[in-house]
Structure 1
Amino acid sequence: MQIKSSKHPGSNLILIALLFIIPLSAKAADNTLHDSFAGTYRIDPDHSLAWFSIEHARVAIYVGRFDKMSGHYTFDPGNSTKDHVEVTIPVKSLDTNFAMRDHDLMGPDFFNAREFPVIKFSSTKYKPSGKHTGILYGKLTMHGITHTVEFHVRQIGAGPVKALPKPWGGYLSGYTATATIHRSDYGISAYEGMIGDDVHLHINIEGVRTQKP
C-alpha cells in the first residue's frame, strides 16, 4: 500500500498508526476466550460496573453509575438449576457526574440511602437461550421493595488470563446483563413530569473463579 505525502507531517503518522491499530483490533475481537466457564466466581469490583439510563425532561437521556459492587455467581452449563447470582451495590457509590444531583438522589425523595443503604439482586433461575446467552430471573430489592426482574445475559468470554498481575489475574469469566424496571414500582416517583419512569439497567461483570465444578 502506498501512502501519499501530506502538507501536514502528522497526517502520515496517523495513517501509519491506523494500519497497525486496525489489524490489532480485529485480532483482539477474534481472540475472545470461550473456555469451559463452569464454577463459582467472586465478582471483581475493579472490573465490574452497574449503570443505568433514564429519560430527563422528556427531551434527553442521562446516565448514572454505581462505583462499588460485590457478590458472587455460579454457572454450570451441564445443570442450569445450579446457576445462581448474588449482587450487592452500595447506594452511596452512586455517581452521575454532578454532586448536587447525587446528593438529591441519595435523599428521601429518591433512593433514601440512609434508610435503604444497599441494592440487592438474588437470582432464582437461569434459562439459557443460546450457547452464550440466556435470561436470568431474580429478585431485585431497592428502596426497601422487592420485585422480580428478568436480565438478558450475554457471556463475553471465559478462560485462564495470566497476563494480569495479582490480584486480578486467574481464571476469569465476564458477562453483560440488561433489564428495564419502573422506578415507581420501587416507591421512587418524585418529579414524574421531569424524570421518566422506565429505568434501563446495565451490569458489566467480571469474576475470578474461586471454585471449580
Structure 2
Amino acid sequence: MGLFGRKNNESAVATATLPVDPALAALTGEYAIDPSHSSIGFTVRHAMVTNVRGTFAEHEGALKLDGSNPSASTASIDITIASIDTGLGDRDGHLRSGDFFDVEQFPLMSFRSTQAEQLGGDMYRITGDLTIKDVTKPLSIDLEFNGAATDPFGNERVGFEGSTEILRSAWGLTWNAALETGGVLVGDKVKLNFDISAIKNAA
C-alpha cells in the first residue's frame, strides 16, 4: 500500500515506498481506513469446479503517512472475522465455527507490515505478518496506489488496491471433505483482495 513502511521498529499493516515529491509530501499525516468505502474479500475454489467469493464487512485500521520519507510511514489493520459474508448463511456459520476460523476464540485477523518495495510506477510489494487464529506467517501483497483526492464533504482521501494468494492450510485452516468424484470440497489456495480508502484525520 503506497507510502507504508516501518517506523521506529513498529509493525505496520499495508506498507509501501513511493518516490518523494511535493505532491506526496502533502499527504503526510494520520489516516483512518473508511470501512464504508473499503472492501476486503477473498476467493476460494469450491467442489473443484467453481469459486466462492466473500467479504469481511467489519475492519478498522490507522495509517500514518510520511510523504517526505515514505519508509517512515506506518499502518495497522484488524478484521472482524465474524463479519464474513459469502451470501449463504449456513456457509458463513460453518466458516465461523471451530472447523475453520473459530471466531469465539480468535475473533480477529490482522496484518502488520515489515518492509516495502516499489515495483515500478504506482505498484508496490508489501511484506509483513498475517495472523489468523494463533498462527502468524509472512505474507507479501502487491498493491497499486490509486492516488489522493478531496471528496465533496471535505475529506482528504488516499486509495490503494491489490491482491495476494495464500494457502489456508499454512494458517491451520485445514477442514475439508472428499468428493465422490475425487478431489475435495474446499480449495487450499485463497486469493485475498484489498480495496482501501482512508481519510486523513483533522489536524
**Which interval holds the TM-score relative to the shorter structure?**
0.7 to 0.9
Q: Does 1:56 align with 2:46?
A: yes
- Deviation per residue, 1:49-105 (Å, 9 max, x gap): 110000111101110110011001233344232132211000111001000000000
User: What is the match of residue 103 of structure 1?
Assistant: 93
Would the aligned equivalents of 1:83 and 1:126 in 2 still touch at CA under 8 Å?
Answer: no
Q: 1:156/1:127 Cα in 2 relative to 1: closer, same or farther (>3 Å)?
A: same
- State the SS of the aligned residue for 1:97: coil
- State the SS of the aligned residue for 1:134: strand
Taking the aligned partners of 2:139 and 2:118, their CA distance within structure 1 comes to 16
- Deviation per residue, 1:148-183 (Å, 9 max, x gap): 11010101120322x13xxxx411001112111110
Shift of 1:211: 6.9
Which aligned pairs between 1:21-170 and structure 2 lie closer than 5 A?
A: 35-36=23-24, 37-161=27-151, 163-164=152-153, 169-170=154-155
Q: 1:211/1:140 Cα in 2 relative to 1: closer, same or farther (>3 Å)?
A: farther
Q: Which has the higher contact order (CA 8 A, sep 6+)?
A: 2
- Which of the two has higher C-alpha Rg? 1
Taking the aligned partners of 1:84 and 1:148, their CA distance within structure 2 comes to 17
Taking the aligned partners of 1:177 and 1:97, their CA distance within structure 2 comes to 23
Higher helix share: 1
Taking the aligned partners of 1:155 and 1:92, their CA distance within structure 2 comes to 29
User: What is the match of residue 12 of structure 2?
Assistant: none
Unaligned runs of 5+ in 2: 1-22, 178-183
Taking the aligned partners of 1:210 and 1:127, their CA distance within structure 2 comes to 26
Structure 1 stretch displaced more, 70-79 or 114-123: 70-79
Return the letter of the residue paired with 1:134: Y
Taking the aligned partners of 1:110 and 1:136, their CA distance within structure 2 comes to 26
Alignment match of 2:186 (pick from 177, 189, 195): 195
- State the SS of the aligned residue for 1:123: strand
User: What is the match of residue 5 of structure 1?
Assistant: none
Return the letter of the residue paired with 2:109: I
- State the SS of the aligned residue for 1:129: strand
How many residues were matched structurally? 173
Identity %: 28
User: What is the match of residue 27 of structure 1?
Assistant: none
Taking the aligned partners of 2:112 and 2:202, their CA distance within structure 1 comes to 20
Which aligned pairs between 1:168-183 and structure 2 lie closer than 5 A?
A: 169-183=154-168
Taking the aligned partners of 2:140 and 2:61, their CA distance within structure 1 comes to 18
Would the aligned equivalents of 1:84 and 1:126 in 2 still touch at CA under 8 Å?
Answer: no
Shift of 1:203: 1.1
TM-score normalised by structure 1 residue count: 0.76
Q: 1:131/1:78 Cα in 2 relative to 1: closer, same or farther (>3 Å)?
A: farther
Q: 1:157/1:202 Cα in 2 relative to 1: closer, same or farther (>3 Å)?
A: same
